[in-house]
Amino acid sequence: MASFVLSMAVILFFLFWKYPVVAESDGVRVAAIFVVGAALSALAGWAGMLVATKANVRTTVACTCGSLNDGLQVAFTAGSVMGFTVVALGLAGLTIAFWALRSGGTSDKEALQLLSAFGFGASTAALFARVAGGIYTKAADVAADLVGKVEADIDEDDPHNPAVIADNVGDNLGDVAGMGADLFESYVGSILAAATLGADSSARVALPFWLSAAGALCSISGFFLVSTKQEGNGWNVQLSSLMWAMEKGMYFAGMTFLVSAAAITFSLFEAAEAMCIFGCIVSGLVGGMAVGKTTEFFTSFDHSPVISIKDQGYTGPGTVVIQGLGVGMLSTVPSTIIIAATILLCAGLAGGYGIAIASVGMLATLGITLASDAYGPVADNAGGLAELAGLSSSVRAKTDSLDALGNTTAAVGKGFAISSAVLTSLSLLAAFRDQVEIPQGFDVCDPVVLSGILLGAMLPYLFGALTMLSVGKAAGAIIDEVRRQFDEVVNPKGFTLRSAIVRASAGQAIPPEEDVMPDSDRCVALATSAAIQEMLAPALFAILSPLTIGFLVGPRCLIGTLAGSIVSGCVLAISMSNSGGAWDNAKKLCEKLQIKKQAVGKACIVGDTVGDPFKDTSGPALNILIKLMAVTALTISPMLKGKADWETWKVGVALVSIMVSSVYVLKARGVLSWGHAPALPRPAKTSKVGVAEVFPAIGG
């Protein structure tokens, strides 16, 4: 990651040194700010992950020695570290960088143009945390599930499964660090966009900073309210009441934030303008919550969508997958309408600046929202540890209750992440449009803009496909390793791992001297190297697309591309995340009903396997994609100012040639492999016709 960030910094240095906004020193300043943005994002993720990893054990201990509330407090505090670090580093970094940039007599507008490199840096770091992290976590998870639960018929966190440790590590990596970096990017991006759009008035530049600072303080006050008096009783816990334990903190933070936001806006602006802007803040906050609640409806097992997925399990895994995809696609409807309504409301109240302020308002109490989100994986892993360590069922009951709560907060958090990503990137788009001044305008029916929209709509699919296929490839490698270990890992007494697994599956006690433990480290190493290797192609596509289209074709096509990628990315991300969440909870519903070892349960596990890369790799990665493309465009906007388009027919020819040549280059470099044959030699024993015999016959 460091080498990638540094090489991007060098490119930025040369670009801004050649085409400076203010002075030739721009190159150095932009490159430095870019690196700082990336470093702070990575630091926040690293801190959150460090605390979360330790908190896993402590939560298990708290559940063993204390009440459910003790466990909740430990896990939630761990999540808060992440939340408050992200907010503190984001706000402080941005403020200091802005102050440093303005110091040399530079105007607000010019300083903000350079400051977008901070957001670009944050996006680049988020790309790594979310995409590589997402591939890692889900490859491990898919492998652990398929070989453990489906093939060997053992429990989810059974210590005999070699991929369980990699799976648990991945939960922290993807969900904690990835989510943190994602929202760090949104947080920074929304402030940046609002300030850029309000660059003509100093009050409008100051407002997003004030709001974010007030929101951070309110989040801290809300933090102290989180507690519960419930007892742990597994998945049958009264979820609404347990949810209230967390919601009372969030609502308190939201309320106090609204009061302080009103005070801030009315002191910065005169009454009429303040009224409108405050309206935007309120609609941002309400819109974010509404999308979160919608997400909860579609993914919680208390509601009909998830129950219908489980029911389709009676007709097999195929119908489970169809139903889950349908539920996910349907779930885009209310969310999209809410987001569109928020956009229209805010635009009516205060124009493009209103939309940007709505996303600042939505993200202002990020401290506590992110805390409740990062809490989820801690609780999940605490449960995993309780099972791995073979603790008593009363402990497991408490950790399961915490896990059920985490499940809900994670769903709400995902809806929140997507809607904030969409609003943020739309604001960045509007900021970009302000920066590049094109006389022809951006008519949606203009072929240049329209083909940009079409290409943009395709990019989330490319990005989603690459990340999803990567999960398949990496998971395949881990599965082969796990299967190898089943037969080849032998303890001193000569018992194979498989023998221990057969007993574990049958629920028999295994005498310590006959027990066999797998080589988990090899799985972790395999998953790590695969994830890093696999993320390069999507990362390059995400950064190079706006650069290529912007410089080669022109800013009008780029605006189209950004608009297309935002809308298409929004619906695809919602659809994938919610499908994934719904399958996950359909599986959990089967566990709760204790039918997970029957045909229905197995069908739902197949759904969950498909859903894993949906909800934790590709879906969230799209949040990053749309913000990254928008912030990249904003960063290079000074160079695109007033740039004329290419003639359209040249563009057409160029597009096709770029495609053909990149296919050839990628094919030659082996990046376009489909993950079969040499990359993944399958053990011959799984089938009578081995892969080696098959390929020559069909010329693959």
Contact letters (x/-) for its own copies, 310-349, by CB under 8 A?
-xx-xxxxxx-xxx-xxxxxx-xxx-xxxxxxxxxxxxxx
Q: Which residues between 610 and 629 bind its own copies (CB under 8 A)?
A: 610, 613
Contact region with its own copies (CB under 8 A), list: 110-118, 186-194, 371-379, 560-568: 560-568
Q: Which residues between 80 and 109 bind its own copies (CB under 8 A)?
A: none
Q: Does 32 bind its own copies (CB under 8 A)?
A: no
Q: At what angle do helices 239-268 and 366-388 cross, to 10 degrees?
A: 160
Q: How many residues bind its own copies (CB under 8 A)?
A: 129
**Which residue, 151 or 273, has its beta carbon nearer to its own copies?**
151
Cα distance between residue 264 and residue 357, in whole Å: 13
Q: How far is the CB of 368 from its own copies (least distance, A)?
A: 26
Q: Does 365 bind its own copies (CB under 8 A)?
A: no
Q: Does 686 bind its own copies (CB under 8 A)?
A: yes
Contact region with its own copies (CB under 8 A), list: 15-23, 404-412, 475-483, 622-630: 475-483
390, exposed or middle or buried, with CB in 10 Å at 0-12, 13-18, 19+?
A: exposed
Among left, alpha and beta (phi > 0; psi -120 to 50; other), residue 554 is left
Chain-centre distance of CA 116, in angstroms? Answer: 21
Q: Does 570 bind its own copies (CB under 8 A)?
A: yes
Q: How far is the CB of 436 from its own copies (least distance, A)?
A: 11
Q: Does 355 bind its own copies (CB under 8 A)?
A: yes
Residues 298 and 578: beta-carbon distance below 8 Å: yes
Q: How far is the CB of 127 from its own copies (least distance, A)?
A: 19
Cα distance between residue 102 and residue 194, in whole Å: 17
Which residue is associated with the tokens 């039918």? 595
**Which residue, 277 or 321, has its beta carbon nearer to its own copies?**
321
Q: Which residues between 429 and 448 bind its own copies (CB under 8 A)?
A: 429-430, 433, 441-445, 447-448
Q: Which residues between 254 and 293 bind its own copies (CB under 8 A)?
A: none
Q: How far is the CB of 449 from its own copies (least distance, A)?
A: 6
What residues form DSSP beta bridges with 496? 490
Q: Which residues between 630 and 669 bind its own copies (CB under 8 A)?
A: 647-653, 655-656, 659, 663
Q: How far is the CB of 475 from its own copies (least distance, A)?
A: 7
Considering only 45, 305, 406, 415, the residue that binds its own copies (CB under 8 A) is: 305
Q: Does 599 bind its own copies (CB under 8 A)?
A: yes
Q: Which residues between 64 and 83 bind its own copies (CB under 8 A)?
A: none
Q: Does 694 bind its own copies (CB under 8 A)?
A: yes
Cα distance between residue 172 and residue 187, in whole Å: 21
DSSP labels, 359-383: HHHHHHTHHHHHHHHHHHHHHHHHH
DSSP labels, 463-518: HHHHHHHHHHHHHHHHHHHHHHHHHH-B-TTS-BHHHHHHHHHHT----GGG----
**Which residue, 373 or 400, has its beta carbon nearer to its own copies?**
400
Contact letters (x/-) for its own copies, 136-175, by CB under 8 A?
------x--xx---xx------------------------
User: Phi and psi of 567, rounded to 5°?
Assistant: -70, -45
Residues 284 and 358: beta-carbon distance below 8 Å: yes
Rg (CA), the chain: 25
User: Phi and psi of 59, rounded to 5°?
Assistant: -65, -40
